[in-house]
């Protein structure tokens, strides 16, 4: 696709206005401007929508995405869109969720990426756990494959986990696959939580010592951590929750300095969207989320490969959809 000098210059200005706060230069945006122009043009022609997780890189988030959010927010956006095609910029299990909620739509992932949590457990593991704990209900964190969801009673996210656990009729709950999240929710309920040994390789990186060091360096800083972090980290922070909870906390806070104990994409988002607030300390990169590049988005729009098309066998899809519907029912109760 050819663009005029004026179109390219306008695109560079549009991109720089957003990306400068995340550390991008004029030279950087010059490289990506032809790509974002072409992607946005193809999106219109194909009646496509691009959904991006907050952990994606800023060129995707601010260059081409129509909606940015966490896994639950993206699922709702996928369910409510009128577009006929969804390009899902995130890891594969989230695109599966979009497909489950939109079986009639074409859902594409620009790059097929896994997730250490989703890959830590299989449907056979769930069947074995059910044998060992026949009276327990089974709740899976949304970071699981459709095949695993199909064997569980309900999904949950970091924001509705307590509602789902308390809403289940059983007094014992098998909670998979996040070991740390299971430990973090146990003190909040009278039910017995039976965990699994899955971990997010990004959030397990943070240590309580880092939290202490940042507090010492930045007196008054508010430290917000994702519930996928270890209990030792969670007990030292000002708020534990999902990425949406972090945004709400910052929005409602008069404080100026924050450390986000999560993936670096969230820190970039806050630098761009809340320039009046200062983000301090460190963050960690998810190698799965960062697998998607603009060139992959363009290629998936132009000539999607079979592996980029999200398809779920009907028997798995029906059971996994029932699991998601149970989560929605328990959350809205
Ligand atoms: S941040 Fe953690 S939970 Fe999210 S996709 Fe990466 S590895 Fe999986």
CATH number attached to the domain at 203-279: 3.40.50.10800
Q: What is the pLDDT of residue 71?
A: 83
Decide: 284 in ligand 1 pocket, CB within 6 A. no
Contact 39, 298 (CB under 8 A): yes
Is the pLDDT assigned to residue 333 strictly greater than 80?
A: no
Q: How far is the CA of 203 from the centre of ligand 1 (A)?
A: 8
- Which of 246, 210, 206 has its CA nearest to residue 229? 206
Residue 32, CB-side half-sphere exposure with 13 Å CA sphere = 27
With a 6 Å cutoff on the Cβ, whether 264 touches ligand 1 is: no
Cα 263 to middle of ligand 1, angstroms: 8
178 lines ligand 1 (CB under 6 A): no
CA distance 73 to 127: 30
- For residue 177, report the distance from its CA to the centre of ligand 1, in Å: 12
- What are the two backbone dihedrals, phi and then psi, of residue 29, each rounded to the nearest 5 degrees? -70, -25
How far apart, in whole angstroms, are the C-alpha atoms of residue 264 and residue 202?
Answer: 10
User: Which of 94, 147, 153 is closest to 121 using CA atoms?
Assistant: 147
The verdict on whether omega for the bond into residue 177 sits within 30 degrees of 0, i.e. cis, is yes
Does the C-beta of 272 come closer than 6 Å to ligand 1?
no
- Closest approach atom of ligand 1 to CA 113: 5
Q: Where in the chain is the domain with CATH 3.40.50.10800?
A: 5-112+289-302, 118-200+312-332, 203-279
Check if 200 has its Cβ closer than 6 Å to any atom of ligand 1: yes
Distance 293 CA to ligand 1 centre (A): 17
Q: Give the model's pLDDT for residue 78.
A: 87
Name the CATH superfamily, with its identifier, for domain 5-112+289-302: NadA-like (3.40.50.10800)
Structure confidence at residue 328 (pLDDT): 86
pTM exceeds cut of 0.75: yes
| pLDDT over threshold 90, residue 331 | no
Q: How far is the CA of 126 from the centre of ligand 1 (A)?
A: 21
- pLDDT tens digits for range 10-28: 999 999 999 999 999 999 9
Tell how far the Cα of 202 is from the centroid of ligand 1, in angstroms. Answer: 6
Answer whether 266 contacts ligand 1 (Cβ < 6 A).
no
Q: What is the pLDDT of residue 94?
A: 93
Stretch 57-85: mean pLDDT: 92
Whether 38 shows a pLDDT value over 80: the answer reads: yes
pLDDT score recorded for residue 68 = 96
Share of the chain above pLDDT 70, in %: 100
- pLDDT given for residue 75 in this prediction: 81
188 DSSP assignment: G
Fold classified for 118-200+312-332: Rossmann fold (3.40.50)
Nearest CA to ligand 1 atom 6: 286
Give the residue from 81, 88, 78, 92 showing the smallest Cα distance to 146: 92
Please state the atom number of ligand 1 nearest to the C-alpha of residue 200: 2
Average pLDDT score over residue span 197-212 = 97
pLDDT at residue 159 in the model: 81
pLDDT single digits (tens) 258-311: 999 999 999 999 999 999 999 999 999 999 999 999 999 999 999 999 999 999
Inter-helix orientation angle 26-46/5-19, to 10°: 110
- Cα 274 to averaged position of ligand 1 atoms, centre (Å): 24
**Model pLDDT, residue 10:** 98
pLDDT at position 313 is: 96
- C-beta 109 within 6 A of ligand 1: no
Closest residue by CA, ligand 1 atom 3: 200
Q: Is the CB of 142 under 6 A from ligand 1?
A: no
Two tokens, residue 69: 């959010």
Each residue of 145-192: pLDDT tens digit?
999 999 999 999 888 899 999 999 999 999 999 999 999 999 999 999
What pLDDT is attached to residue 311?
96
pLDDT at 58: 97
Tokens coding 137: 């209900």
Residue with CA at minimum distance from ligand 1 atom 5: 115
Is the pLDDT assigned to residue 222 strictly greater than 90? yes
CA angle at 303 for the pair 297 and 306, rounded to the nearest 5°: 95
């Amino acid at each position: 696709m050819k663009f005029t000098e004026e179109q390219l210059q306008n695109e560079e200005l549009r991109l720089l206005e957003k990306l400068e706060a995340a550390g991008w230069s004029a030279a950087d945006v010059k490289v990506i401007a032809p790509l974002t122009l072409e992607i946005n043009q193809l999106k219109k022609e194909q009646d496509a929508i691009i959904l991006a997780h907050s952990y994606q890189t800023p060129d995707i988030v601010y260059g081409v995405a129509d909606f940015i959010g966490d896994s639950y927010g993206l699922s709702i956006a996928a369910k409510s869109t009128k577009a006929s095609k969804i390009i899902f910029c995130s890891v594969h299990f989230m695109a599966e969720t979009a497909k489950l909620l939109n079986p009639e739509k074409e859902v594409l992932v620009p790059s097929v990426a896994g997730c250490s949590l989703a890959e830590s457990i299989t449907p056979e593991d769930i069947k074995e756990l059910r044998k060992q704990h026949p009276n327990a209900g089974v709740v899976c964190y949304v970071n699981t494959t459709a095949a695993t969801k199909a064997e569980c009673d309900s999904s949950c996210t970091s924001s509705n986990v307590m509602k789902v656990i308390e809403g289940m009729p059983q007094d014992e709950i098998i909670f998979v696959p996040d070991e740390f999240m299971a430990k973090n929710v146990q003190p909040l309920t009278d039910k017995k939580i039976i965990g699994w040994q899955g971990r997010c390789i990004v959030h397990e990186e943070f240590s309580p010592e880092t939290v202490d060091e940042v507090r010492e360096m930045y007196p008054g800083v508010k430290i917000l951590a994702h519930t996928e972090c270890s209990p030792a980290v969670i007990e030292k922070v000002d708020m534990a929750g999902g990425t949406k909870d972090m945004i709400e906390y910052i929005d409602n806070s008069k404080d100026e300095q924050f450390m986000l104990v999560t993936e670096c994409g969230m820190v970039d988002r806050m630098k761009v969207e809340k320039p009046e607030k200062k983000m301090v300390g460190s963050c960690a990169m998810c190698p799965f989320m960062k697998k998607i590049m603009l060139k992959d988005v363009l290629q998936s729009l132009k000539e999607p490969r079979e592996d980029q098309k999200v398809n779920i066998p009907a028997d798995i899809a029906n059971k996994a959809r029932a699991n998601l519907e149970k989560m929605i029912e328990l959350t809205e109760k």
